Amino acid sequence: MTVENGPAGAHPSTAALSRADVVHVARLARLDLSEDELELFTGQLASVLDYAADVAALDLTGVRPTAHPLPVVNVLRDDVVAPSLERDIVLAMAPSVEDDRFSVPRIVGEEP
Amino acid sequence: MSTTLGDDWEMVIGLEVHCELLTATKLFCGCRNAFGDEPNTNVCPVCLGLPGSLPVLNTGAVERAMAIGTALGCEIRPSSFHRKNYFYPDQPKDYQISQYDEPINTGGRLELPDGSVVGITRAHLEEDTGKTLHVGEGGRIHAADHSLVDYNRAGVPLVEIVSEPEIRTAAQARAYVAELRAVLVATGASDGRMEEGSMRVDANVSVRPAGNEVMGTRCEIKNLNSLRSLTRAIEYEADRQVALLDAGGTIDQETRHWDEEAGRTSTMRSKEEANDYRYFPEPDLVPLAPGAEWIERVAAGIGPLPAERRLALAALFDGGPTPAQRDQILAVVDLGLDPLLRSATDAGVPATLALARTANEVATDTDAALRLERTSFATLLGLEANGTLSATQTKAVLAVLLERGGGDPGGIAAELGFESLSSGSLAATVADIVAAHPDEWARFVEGDKKMTGFFVGAVMKATGGNANGKAVTAELARLAAP
Amino acid sequence: MSADGRSARRTAADIASAVAAGEESAAAVLDAHLAVIESREPDLHAFVSVLGDEARERAAAIDRSVAAGEPVGPLAGVPVALKDNLCTLGLATTCSSKILEGWRPPYDATVVRRLADAGAVIIGKTNMDEFAMGSSTENSSSGPTRNPHDTAKVPGGSSGGSAAAVAAGFAPLGLGSDTGGSIRQPAAFCGVVGMKPTYGAVSRYGLVAFASSLDQIGPFATTVADAALLLEVIGGHDPADSTSLDGPAPAARSRLGEGVDGLRVGLCAQLLTGAAPDVAARVHEAAEALAVAGARVEEVSIPEFDYGLSAYYLLAPAEASSNLARYDGVRYGLRVDAPDAAAMNRATRTAGFGAEVKRRIMLGTYALSAGYYDAYYGQAQRVRTLVVEAFARAYADHDVLLGATAPTTAFAIGSKADDPLAMYLSDLFTIPSNLAGHPAISVPFGTGDDGLPVGVQVLAPALAEPLLFAVAAALEVATPQEETVP
């Protein structure tokens, strides 16, 4: 694996949001957008990102990112088996089941 | 050197080995971590990714990851978890919890039996996916009609061990994986069973003109589930790349799939199609920062590693083992059979005999061998060493011992009708034959060495091959002594 | 209102002590509340589901325990309205989303188990903005909830159903979740007490996640003391939540009667900037009331708060985009069929999510995507650090901070539906506490020019819940007029 997210530079990229960006993002998020929605979302997302431009433009070199509100470490559990769910209950939730497994339409493309 | 590349090209190989950890439970929930159970029976809200469920990290998995890091000479560091986002039906949350820019283990090394050293970039914790069964058209993904998912494996703890791109031949890659497997088994972190998928290998392969320092464009080969696949896939892929470059082409950076039946790799995904995984810190987990005392306690629990165990076996041979014996020692330690061998040598059995029986007869069925009672094995080899049993008889008794998991070797020899060869009956047989051949005996007593062969052969014929040659020689010498 | 309506307006503490003492049956308490629901729910739509039968069984069980002399908990027989993003074993939990329609969780949220242990009776699952994304409870697959004070107005959101239910007397207590103000803002709009605890004080296990590093479950009540009581019941360490703090629940009621004499209160300029004049006036009156009660009130400026909203609307959608990936039509909930798995995922998600959820998933996906991570997500995380540090500086000189909960009183249904940014701005004052993981509370304090309730917000450092509730109780006492019963 490669690690791509480096530390923030002083001038991070915030190019204006394009329609193509919205198409790309919808594909990543597995959402289908109609032409109208595409138009609407591009405008609405652009206005939110425009509002957030103040944050994007700050020079925060040397400021540590906060991923978590409270400084807690080493929360662990013992390696002890706990009861699993009844399979009938698990499979009853599923939209489609075959041979005690969750059934999905054919998968195009391999696992990432 | 590769068997296929000429002197003009050099391979550059980096390996990513995924190893399932031998814990009682999954990485983030208390469901059983077990292979082969009924589908979807070891699942709960957490490992099914049900709305509202939250992960809690398993101490056992962390300690096994630390043990692996220790064995590979890594620095064990404060670490954190990230989410790797991608959609796939076997991924219950549609993201994988993995370690990204802060892995638990960094910067280790693995010395291979030939003395070469491969650097370890990192060895980090992550969760496994469920298992997908493709239905229709022989279970092949592209031709499947639909797929069925079992989440028993989802959330099983993995350590991904990433090597530096320092491997230069397919044979070295194989040796690396074999040695790594032995180390993982030695730490107790893994059962090392590639055939059950508990160790899975991806290979990053590129080629470059020999002597060149610049890296070529690499391809990542997935689905290497045996040492044989690993070797074949790397050689195929290197040949493919060299052929392309020789023909004036270029290599596209891509992910390729190894087809074991067809014996070739094929494109899975190009760099352009590469996923945008949108890594970000997992907000449901807090950082992991093992203290020195904890790290030391885990390190203290690790048994001797393969390299040390090979040295210990080699030291049993006066003047050192022969090259063939070195290979046998390597195999015996890889299979974890050295404690069995040591039980025999500790009981006074010569190392040469103990190694031969362990590497040749016992190693044919590793599972049975690992269950075999050590005292039975040691006693049996003692009977062969003192001439009570012949080599052929020993092997026959050993086969029964392996089948039964142990027992009394003398009793089994009796069951097999080998009583006639107790030392008393051997002496009687030799005496009979000596009495029947007075001329030959006279020549033997006068020192005619050829007569040794005559008498041993005669005894063998009389016993149907069940006599121990050395024991016969010793008996002849005893009778001839003044 | 029926004759029993009187009982429906009683505090949880009163009800629990009456039930525990056998003076009143849990069944009667429940019936009184169900009667109020029957009369007003059709106008308000506070609930996604009213659990009449389950609640009756539960109330009967409590009455049997009381009759048998067995101990009953501190909420014996008290009806509680539960936001529909809290998992209830075997009972539909929809998050007001089509994508979860019909899903019955095979487990209870930790807070649900704690409510049961305390003798509470869950009376229904309340309406919300889909997956808690919204500030008006208009983004619901079952339609909007209306404000009990004026049914043309929104109740606020996203926990608008719980706020409206408590305000309307459907239940004396409610639970909501607060990611950027989703408890405090609807509490302000509906004229009830709403409180967001310290991050980690209440287990999130079984709370359907919106933005995991910001989400926190908290109480709604008609009184500060009831809110504190409910927090004590639901709080405390839970091994099933790695972000749950060690130790028992905050002793929320421990300083309730202490008053504010000698306390240093910072009236925060950034928590008033942009507030409507009538709202700002109530906050200043609240500050004066605290001063009269002996507090030292000083103005304080925390400029870093100005970046909070931007940071929040990058962080929360980013986490949400990942948290909501699992709704893919494979294991539970809605599936819309398609020829291959990826197309099925897309068809399901496209049909199952509403517009606001899609908008935030897209925004968050963009903020995390290659090439933009540093500019947006990474930058927002650093702003979070700035906000945390700014709070620390402010708390060096002040015990608590004071400001408005929301910039306005409740706005009209539909008035902000087409302008997401305008809607997001109603979270301006509540977001800093979420970014820092600190507790904050909204207390009703008079009304605006439109006669609708105004909420005043008190903020305190992490784990300073006892202090927070003490100040809130002082404000409650000083409220300028009798609470208007909607």
Domain ranges in chain A are 14-62
Regarding whether B320 and B274 lie in a shared domain, the answer is no
pLDDT at position B462 is: 81
Regarding whether B369 and B461 lie in a shared domain, the answer is no
Are the Cβ atoms of B149 and A111 closer than 8 angstroms? Answer: no
Instruction: Choose one of B385, B401, B421: the last residue of a domain.
Output: B421
Alpha-carbon distance C363 to nearest alpha carbon in chain A (angstroms) = 6
Helix (H) or strand (E) holding B122: strand B117-127
Are the Cβ atoms of C205 and B53 closer than 8 angstroms? Answer: yes
Regarding whether C192 and C98 lie in a shared domain, the answer is yes
Regarding whether C390 and C356 lie in a shared domain, the answer is no
Regarding whether C64 and C197 lie in a shared domain, the answer is yes
Regarding whether C39 and C108 lie in a shared domain, the answer is yes
Question: 3-state DSSP call for residue A107?
Answer: coil
Residue A11: pLDDT band with limits 50, 70, 90 = very low
* H helix runs in C324-464, sequence order: 341-352, 355-368, 379-397, 420-424, 431-436
Chains that touch C (3 or more CB pairs under 8 A): A, B
Question: 3-state DSSP call for residue B337?
Answer: coil
Regarding whether B161 and B263 lie in a shared domain, the answer is yes
CA distances to B233, B234, B237 from B222, in Å = 10, 11, 12
Of C85, C100, C368, the CB nearest to B278: C368
ipTM: 0.96
Regarding whether B319 and B412 lie in a shared domain, the answer is yes
Are the Cβ atoms of A82 and B56 closer than 8 angstroms? Answer: no
Measured CA to CA, the distance from residue C181 to residue C304 in angstroms comes to 18
Residues 6+ apart with CB under 8 A from B86: A112, B94, B95, B96, B275, B277
Contacts of C369 in chain B (CB under 8 A): 276, 278
A63 at B interface, C-beta within 8 A: no
Chains that touch A (3 or more CB pairs under 8 A): B, C
Whether C199 maps to a domain, the answer reads yes
- For C90, name the nearest residue in chain A, comparing CA atoms only: A89
Regarding whether C337 and C268 lie in a shared domain, the answer is no
A101 at B interface, C-beta within 8 A: yes
Contacts of B23 in chain A (CB under 8 A): 79
pLDDT at position A2 is: 43
Measured CA to CA, the distance from residue C122 to residue B96 in angstroms comes to 35
Which of the two residues, A6 and C462, has the higher pLDDT score? C462
| Share above pLDDT 70 across residues of chain C, in percent, rounded to a whole number | 97
For the segment C386-412, the average pLDDT, to the nearest whole number, is 97
Asked if the model's pLDDT at residue C3 lies above 50, the reply is: no
pLDDT at position B461 is: 83
Contacts of A4 in chain B (CB under 8 A): 279
Instruction: At C244, list the tokens.
Output: 């749950």
Whether B109 maps to a domain, the answer reads yes
Contacts of B53 in chain C (CB under 8 A): 107, 205-206
Regarding whether C288 and C169 lie in a shared domain, the answer is no
Alpha-carbon distance A21 to nearest alpha carbon in chain B (angstroms) = 13
- Could you report the per-residue pLDDT of C233-278, keeping only the tens digit for each? 999 999 999 999 999 999 999 999 999 999 999 999 999 999 999 9
* Residue B311, CB-side half-sphere exposure with 13 Å CA sphere: 6
Are the Cβ atoms of A32 and C347 closer than 8 angstroms? Answer: yes
pLDDT at position C323 is: 98
β-sheet with C296-300: strand ranges across:
C47-50, C121-126, C79-83, C173-177, C217-221, C193-196, C440-447, C453-459, C400-404, C264-268, C296-300
Regarding whether C22 and C140 lie in a shared domain, the answer is yes
- Could you report the per-residue pLDDT of C85-95, keeping only the tens digit for each? 999 999 999 99
Rounded to 5 degrees, what angle do the CA atoms C474, C477, C483 make? 130
Contacts of B24 in chain A (CB under 8 A): 79-81
Regarding whether B466 and B379 lie in a shared domain, the answer is no
pLDDT at position B464 is: 72
CA proximity to C55, closest of C78, C22, C84 = C78
Instruction: Choose one of B249, B267, B300: the last residue of a domain.
Output: B300
CA distances to B152, B464, B477 from B422, in Å = 55, 15, 18
Measured CA to CA, the distance from residue C164 to residue C184 in angstroms comes to 12
Alpha-carbon distance C141 to nearest alpha carbon in chain A (angstroms) = 18
Regarding whether B439 and B411 lie in a shared domain, the answer is no
Alpha-carbon distance A104 to nearest alpha carbon in chain C (angstroms) = 6
> Residue-wise pLDDT tens for chain B (482 aa)?
445 577 889 999 999 999 999 999 999 999 999 999 999 999 999 999 999 999 999 999 999 999 999 999 999 999 999 999 999 999 999 999 999 999 999 999 999 999 999 999 999 999 999 999 998 866 666 667 899 999 999 999 999 999 999 999 999 999 999 999 999 999 999 998 888 889 999 999 999 999 888 989 999 999 798 999 999 999 999 999 999 999 999 999 999 999 988 999 988 876 666 679 999 999 999 999 999 999 999 999 999 999 999 999 999 999 899 999 999 999 999 888 999 999 999 999 999 999 999 999 888 888 888 889 999 999 999 999 888 888 888 999 999 999 999 899 988 988 887 855 556 677 888 888 998 898 999 999 888 888 888 998 888 888 777 777 778 888 888 888 86
Contacts of A106 in chain C (CB under 8 A): 339-341
Are the Cβ atoms of C376 and A56 closer than 8 angstroms? Answer: yes
pLDDT at position C2 is: 36
Asked if the model's pLDDT at residue A7 lies above 70, the reply is: no
Of B55, B85, B89, the CB nearest to C322: B85
Of A14, A17, A55, the CB nearest to C307: A55
Q: Which domain holds residue C354?
A: 311-368
The architecture (CATH level 2) of A14-62 comes to: Orthogonal Bundle (1.10)
Whether C178 maps to a domain, the answer reads yes
Are the Cβ atoms of B50 and C341 closer than 8 angstroms? Answer: no
Regarding whether C274 and C315 lie in a shared domain, the answer is no
Regarding whether B437 and B296 lie in a shared domain, the answer is no
Asked if the model's pLDDT at residue C412 lies above 50, the reply is: yes
Question: 3-state DSSP call for residue C91?
Answer: strand
Regarding whether B385 and B295 lie in a shared domain, the answer is no
Regarding whether B167 and B128 lie in a shared domain, the answer is yes
- Bridge partner residues of B16 (DSSP): B162, B202
Regarding whether B73 and B37 lie in a shared domain, the answer is yes
- For A96, name the nearest residue in chain C, comparing CA atoms only: C330
pLDDT at position C371 is: 81
Whether B467 maps to a domain, the answer reads yes
Whether C378 maps to a domain, the answer reads no
Chains that touch B (3 or more CB pairs under 8 A): A, C
Contact B124, B105 (CB under 8 A): yes
For the segment C331-349, the average pLDDT, to the nearest whole number, is 97
Of A56, A69, A105, the CB nearest to C339: A105
Regarding whether C227 and C109 lie in a shared domain, the answer is yes
Regarding whether C123 and C23 lie in a shared domain, the answer is yes
Are the Cβ atoms of A31 and C358 closer than 8 angstroms? Answer: yes
Q: What angle separates helix C224-234 from helix C110-117, to the nearest 10 degrees?
A: 110
Catalytic positions of C: 83, 158, 182
Regarding whether C318 and C296 lie in a shared domain, the answer is no
Whether C279 maps to a domain, the answer reads yes
Neighbours of C70 (CB within 10 A): 9
| Residues from C in contact with B at Cβ < 8 Å | 85-87, 93, 95, 100, 103, 105-107, 109, 204-209, 211-213, 239-243, 318-319, 321-322, 325-326, 328, 330-332, 341-342, 345, 365, 368-370, 373, 377
The CATH number of residue C429's host domain is 3.90.1300.10
With DSSP H G I counted as helix, E B as strand and the rest as coil, what are the percentages for chain A, rounded to 5?
A: 35, 10, 55
Are the Cβ atoms of C307 and A64 closer than 8 angstroms? Answer: no
pLDDT at position A67 is: 87
Are the Cβ atoms of A60 and C332 closer than 8 angstroms? Answer: no
Regarding whether B353 and B403 lie in a shared domain, the answer is yes
Whether C244 maps to a domain, the answer reads no
Q: Return the residue in A48, A74, A78, A90 with the most chain C beta carbons within 10 A, the one to mutate for interface testing.
A: A48
Contact C186, C153 (CB under 8 A): no
Contacts of B57 in chain C (CB under 8 A): 242
Question: 3-state DSSP call for residue B281?
Answer: strand
Regarding whether C430 and C357 lie in a shared domain, the answer is no
How many domains is chain C built from? 3
Q: What is the DSSP letter of C242?
A: T
A/B interface, count of CB pairs below 8 Å:
147
Residue C1: pLDDT band with limits 50, 70, 90 = very low
Are the Cβ atoms of B278 and C319 closer than 8 angstroms? Answer: no
Whether C375 maps to a domain, the answer reads no
Phi, psi angle pair for B111, to nearest 5°: -90, 130
Regarding whether B87 and B159 lie in a shared domain, the answer is yes
B85 at C interface, C-beta within 8 A: yes
Instruction: Choose one of B271, B300, B329: the last residue of a domain.
Output: B300
- Could you report the per-residue pLDDT of C96-140, keeping only the tens digit for each? 999 998 899 999 999 999 999 999 999 999 999 999 999 999 999
Whether C247 maps to a domain, the answer reads no
How many domains is chain B built from? 3
Measured CA to CA, the distance from residue C189 to residue A28 in angstroms comes to 37
